Amino acid sequence: MLRDPLAEFVDVGIPAEQPVGAGVATVVAHVNETALADSREKSLRSTRLSCLESFVVSACTGNFGHAPVDVRIHPRAPPPWDRVSARFDQSGVAMTDQTILITGAAGGVGSLLRPRLSRPDRTLRLLDVAPIPAPTTREEIVVGSVTDADAMVDACRGVDTVVHLGGQSREHDIDNVVELNIKGTYVVLEAARRAGVRTVMLASSNHAVGFSHRDQVPGKHLPADTPARPDTLYGLSKVGIEAAGRLFHDRYGINVICARIGSWFETPPGVRGLATWLSPDDGARMVEACIAAEAPGFRFIWGISRNSRRWFSLAEGEAIGYDPQDDAELFADRLVTGDEPDFLADPELNRAGGSWCEVELGKPMT
């Protein structure tokens, strides 16, 4: 155990086999909470503290009641280098409970996810500006906007994974989609960085690549990391959130998974949905895979079920454990009337964005 200059209230242990500066190190801080409470203000204001010392104080003050605190340090990130990887109770027993923050939890997708992500050892922290009905004992309600930096920092405290669904979900004017989607995602990522969140799943969209054509796909399936070809201002904003995720991964090392979602509904919405549907259960499987992924880095995946008529790759999602089980073909008899649809000749079916490729740019959808 190395003694830190802040040793009046913190012991810092740095395992010799993982020295700071050589990749990712583990730091264990044993906290004397009484002394820390007396000294915190002076310590946090001291300009003489090193980055590591500042981080240890920050980590400890943010984890009262959990001593010791097991912390991972990312050497590329500026202070605080906050990557809390586990918590322990006062007897030293590991606490396995997860806290998952879902933004936009009052929306249609959030409502589908809530019951499917519920587990006895998991707290769902649900954030939205709209009312969230009937919270369970394992759900926490946070009333706030993704564009409110202070609210987002508070919401991210103690969170393991952020599932970012919040924002504008349809075509709208440029100011609206920039504010709610691009700025909102920046605020979420910055709050996650400050709070030491390990992984952020960003809900992107097929409309980020809406002008990708099925008949131009090299091979059978469109790769998840296909270059951006937005079909709308909404699609453009989704390209922006993906770029923000790339920035925060490259600069700070946060794991960011961009899920380019197809049609996430109870049932496939029309003939196009036979290819793009993401069932409620598969949507939950996708999110669970993102939560469980140990070190996904930055990546794209398709949020699509295992549809017989899909032309979107599942390989990238399968690489992190996403194994969709549902197939929109179950609904084909109900959706297909008359001639068999031509997914190559019909422009609504041949383009990833479908009819959105032809809507008026910036005209709010109702």
Concerning whether 234 is annotated as a catalytic residue, the answer is: yes
The CA-based dihedral angle spanning residues 188, 318, 283, 211, taken in that order and rounded to the nearest 10 degrees: 80
d(CA 174, CA 197): 30
- How far, in Å, CA of 42 to CA of 56, rounded? 14
Residue among 186, 234, 252, 322 flagged as catalytic: 234
Are the CB atoms for 237 and 181 separated by under 8 Å?
yes
Provide the 10 A C-beta neighbour count for residue 1.
10
- What's the Rg (C-alpha) of the chain? 22
Q: How far apart are CA 199 and CA 32, in angstroms?
A: 30
Tokens describing residue 48: 């003489």
Strands 69-73 and 83-88: antiparallel
3-state secondary structure of 236: helix
Task: Give 94's contacts (C-beta < 8 A, 6+ positions apart).
Answer: 86, 87, 88
Active-site residues, by number, are 234
